[in-house]
A and B are shown apart, each in its own frame.
Chain A
Amino acid sequence: MFWHNFKYTLKNLLKNKPLIFWTFAFPLILGNLFFLAFQDIEKKEQLEIFNIAIVEKEKTDHTQILKNAYMTFSEGESELFHIEYVSQEKAEDLLSDKEIIGYVILSENPKVVVSKNGIEETILKTVTESIVEEISLATTIQKEKIIDGLSKPEFDGNIEFLKIQVQKEVEEILKNTTVSLKDNSPTNLSYTMVEFYTLIAMTCLYGGMLTMTSINNNLANMCSTGKRIAVAPTKKRNVIFSSVLASFLVQLLGLALLFIYTIFVLNVDYGNKIFFIFLLSILGSLAGVALGCIIATLLKTNENTKIGILLAVTMSGSFFSGMMGITMKYQIDKNIPIINYLNPANMITDGLYSLYYYQTNTKFYFNVISLLIFSALLIILSIEELRRQKYDSI
C-alpha cells in the first residue's frame, strides 16, 4: 500500500502541469533572467574609461606641466580617460551631445565644466584638483629648499644654479614618493550570488506546493478523493507519510534540476563547499514540505486560497531575503532582524551567504538549526491536526 500510494502520488504530481511549471520551470526561467541581467553588473561597477576634453585658453608657466599631468591619467595601466584637445566651442558641443563627461579650461586657475553631478564628473574634478595640488606642493617645497639652501654654508651664491638643483631634487622627490595601502578586501564579494541563493530558497519553499497538493488529495474535508481514501482500510498515517515522501522526492528532483542548470548551463560558481550547500538546500526543502503540511492541514479553506497563501508567504519571504533587491536583506537584517530570524527563505539565503562570505561556519550552523526547528515545529503541529480521524463537517 505504501509504495502503491507513493507511486501514484509521484505520477499525479509529475503530470500536474501548472504545479510542475511553478516548481520546476519557473525557477529555471527566473535563474536565466537573473543570469542575463546580472552577469555584467559587477564588472560594470568598475570604472570604465571615459572621454574628456581640454581647452587651452591662455598659456602660462604651468600649461605644459598641467598637460603632462593629465597625460599620465590617460595612459598606462591606471588609465582613467581619453583626452581630446579642442576649442571651447567644440568642447561645448561635445558636452551637450554627451560625447564627453566634461572639459577642463587650462589657465592660471584651471576650471572644470561638467553637465551634471556624477561619479565620473567627480573623478575629473578630483584629478584636476590633485594636479593643481601637486603644483602647489612642488612650489611650497621648492621655496623651503631654496631658503634652506641659501642659508647653508656650502651655498656659492649662484641662485640660478641652486634653483635648478632644487627643482631637480623636488622632481625626484615627487616622482619617488609613493604610498601603499594594505588591502585586506575579502575575495568573495559577488553579491549577485545572493540572487541565486534567494532563487534556491524560493524553489525550496515553492516545493511546499507539491506537499500541499498531495496532502489535500488525502484529506476527506478537502476533496472527494480524500473521502475515498478515508473510507479505505488503510492507515491514514501511512497514506499521508507516503504522499509527503513522494512530494519531497519530486521537490528534490526540481531542486537538483535547478542546481544542474545553474551550475552547468549558467556557470554559477557555488564555491567549494558544495556539500554544505546541498545539505542546506535539502533542509530548506524540508522547510518547504513543513510549510506545505501546515497550510494543507491547519487552514480550512479551498485549495486555490491555500495556493494563494503559500505563494504569498514564499514571495514575501523571498522579498525580505533580497530577491527583488539584494540590499533588502541587508536593510531588514540591520533594522528589523526579527523578520528574518523567522523567515524560512532567509534562513536558506543567509545560510548560503554565510558559507560563501564568512570565514567561520557559526552562522551557517545557526541557520541549519533554525531550519530544523522551523520544520520540526510545523510538522509536529500538522501531525497533531492530522491525528483527528473524523470531521465535524465535510
Chain B
Amino acid sequence: MNCIEIKNLTKKYKDVKAVDNLSFEVKEGEILGLLGPNGSGKSTTINCILSLLNYEKGEIKIFNTLMSPTAYEVKKQIGVVFQDVAVFDNLTVYENIDYFCGLYINSKEKRKEYIKDALDLVELNEFTNYYPKQLSGGLLRRLNIACGIAHKPKLIFLDEPTVAVDPQSRNSILEGIKKLRDLGSTIVYTTHYMEEVEILCDRIIILDNGKILATGDKDELKKLAKIEEKVTIEIMDLKKSHIKEIEHFPNVENISYENNTLQIVYKKGKNNVVELLEYLNQNKIKYNKIFSERPSLNDVFLYLTGKELRD
C-alpha cells in the first residue's frame, strides 16, 4: 500500500529546474530517506508534495487523494517538521505545541493527552514553561519536532531536523523518529547526513540536481559503488616502487598516497588486509595505524556523481 505517489513532478525557479521529472512513491510504515547535498531539491520536493509550492508538471497523490491546498482530510493525517525552527518566540514550549496541535484537534482533553505524549517523545517534559529563546539549539529542534507531530499524524515529513544539533540531542531525535515509525507512522526524512540515513532509513532515494540518482535500501545502494572495502594505513616514507607493487594486488580498484597515508580501495572485501600486512612485513615497512571500512553512502554518491556529498 502506497502512502504517497508522485508522478513526473517538475518545478522550476525561473529557468532553473529545482525538481526534474521526479517519480517515486512512499510505502506505508516505512522510513524513506531523501538524501542529497544542499540544493539538490529535497525541500522543494517536500514543499510541492505539501501543496505549498506551485509546480509546472506532475501529479501528487497522498492516501490515494489528489493533494491540493484544500484537501483538508488528507492534511489532517500529515505532520510536518520544517528545516527552519517554526515556533513562536512569545509562547512557551507548552503553548507552542498546544497552538499547532489545536489546528488539528479541537478537543481540549484529547489535546492535553497528545501534548504529553509528544513531550515524552522528545524528552522536553522539564521545559514546558520555558520560552524558545531560553532553549539550547538541540532542545529547540526537539520542540520543533514536537510541534509537527503532536497530533499523531499517519504521515510525517521531517526536513533536515538535525541541522546544527549537538550529538546527544541528535541521538534523542533519531530515537524518537524510530519510535514514531514503530507506533505506525510513515516517515519521509530528508537530510544531507548519510550516517543518519544509514542508521534510520528503510529505503533511501539519492537526489542530485532535482533528479533521482538511485533508490534502494542501504546495502543495495552500496553495491552500486562497486567497491567493498577501503583500507587506510599510516606509513612513513613509502617508496614509489612499493606503491606500484601494491597497486597490482588482486581486487585493488584505486590507490593513493598522501601525507604519509596510504588509501587502498578494493572491489571485493576478502582477506585484503591480511595480504597487505604480509607484504609490509616482508618488506620491513613500518606502519602505525591501520583501519578498514565498508564503503559509505558518500562513496556511493561520489561514485555516482563524481563529487562529495558533504559540503
Within 8 Å CB of B73, what residues of A? Answer: 233
**Given known A15-B91, A233-B72, A389-B70, contact A228–B52 (CB-CB < 8 A):** no
Q: A232 contacts B103, CB within 8 Å?
A: yes
Encoded as 1 (CB less than 8 Å from any B CB) or 0, chain A from 216 to 229 comes to 01001001110111
Shortest Cβ distance from residue A228 to the other chain B in the assembled complex, whole angstroms: 5
Within 8 Å CB of B90, what residues of A? Answer: 11-12, 15-16
Per the bound structure, the CA–CA distance linking A229 and B75 in Å amounts to 11
Q: B54 contacts A390, CB within 8 Å?
A: yes
**Given known A11-B95, A390-B69, contact A220–B87 (CB-CB < 8 A):** no
Per the bound structure, the CA–CA distance linking A391 and B54 in Å amounts to 6
Shortest Cβ distance from residue B10 to the other chain A in the assembled complex, whole angstroms: 14
Q: Does A1 contact B (CB under 8 A)?
A: yes
Q: B103 contacts A225, CB within 8 Å?
A: no
Chain A residue with Cβ nearest B78: A231
Q: A8 contacts B86, CB within 8 Å?
A: no
Within 8 Å CB of B54, what residues of A? Answer: 390-392
Q: Does A394 contact B (CB under 8 A)?
A: yes
Q: Does B120 contact A (CB under 8 A)?
A: no
Encoded as 1 (CB less than 8 Å from any A CB) or 0, chain B from 91 to 105 comes to 100010001101110
Q: How many A-B residue pairs have CB under 8 A?
A: 92
**Given known A389-B51, A391-B53, contact A230–B69 (CB-CB < 8 A):** yes
Q: Does A234 contact B (CB under 8 A)?
A: yes
Q: B76 contacts A8, CB within 8 Å?
A: no
Q: Does B251 contact A (CB under 8 A)?
A: no
Q: Does A140 contact B (CB under 8 A)?
A: no
Q: Does A393 contact B (CB under 8 A)?
A: yes
Q: Does B255 contact A (CB under 8 A)?
A: no
**Given known A223-B86, A232-B104, A394-B52, contact A11–B91 (CB-CB < 8 A):** yes
Chain A residue with Cβ nearest B87: A225
Q: Please tell me which one of the listed residues A224, A392, A393 contacts residue B86 in the complex, with CB atoms under 8 A apart.
A: A224
Q: Does B195 contact A (CB under 8 A)?
A: no
Shortest Cβ distance from residue A236 to the other chain B in the assembled complex, whole angstroms: 8
Q: Does B34 contact A (CB under 8 A)?
A: no
Shortest Cβ distance from residue A250 to the other chain B in the assembled complex, whole angstroms: 13
Q: B104 contacts A8, CB within 8 Å?
A: no
Shortest Cβ distance from residue B153 to the other chain A in the assembled complex, whole angstroms: 10
**What's the tally of chain A residues with a CB closer than 8 Å to chain B?**
30
Q: A8 contacts B95, CB within 8 Å?
A: yes
**Given known A233-B73, A391-B54, contact A12–B82 (CB-CB < 8 A):** no
Per the bound structure, the CA–CA distance linking A225 and B73 in Å amounts to 21
Shortest Cβ distance from residue A377 to the other chain B in the assembled complex, whole angstroms: 27
Q: Does B85 contact A (CB under 8 A)?
A: yes
Q: B103 contacts A233, CB within 8 Å?
A: yes
Q: Please tell me which one of the listed residues B75, B83, B84 contacts residue A232 in the complex, with CB atoms under 8 A apart.
A: B75
Per the bound structure, the CA–CA distance linking A11 and B73 in Å amounts to 29
Per the bound structure, the CA–CA distance linking A220 and B51 in Å amounts to 11
Q: Does A152 contact B (CB under 8 A)?
A: no
Within 8 Å CB of A230, what residues of B? Answer: 50, 52, 69
Q: Does A4 contact B (CB under 8 A)?
A: yes
Shortest Cβ distance from residue B91 to the other chain A in the assembled complex, whole angstroms: 6
**Given known A223-B86, A389-B70, A393-B13, contact A233–B53 (CB-CB < 8 A):** no
Interfacial residues, chain B to chain A (CB-CB below 8 A)? 13, 47, 50-54, 69-70, 72-76, 78, 80, 82-88, 90-91, 95, 99-100, 102-104, 106, 147-148
A-B contact pairs, 30 of them (CB 8 A): A1-B103, A1-B106, A4-B102, A4-B103, A8-B88, A8-B95, A8-B99, A11-B91, A12-B90, A12-B91, A16-B90, A217-B88, A224-B83, A225-B86, A225-B88, A227-B47, A227-B80, A228-B103, A228-B148, A230-B52, A230-B69, A232-B100, A233-B74, A233-B103, A234-B72, A390-B52, A392-B13, A392-B54, A394-B47, A394-B52
* 13 additional A-B residue pairs with CB within 8 Å, beyond A8-B95, A224-B83: A5-B99, A8-B91, A11-B91, A11-B95, A220-B52, A228-B80, A228-B103, A231-B50, A232-B104, A233-B75, A391-B54, A392-B54, A393-B13
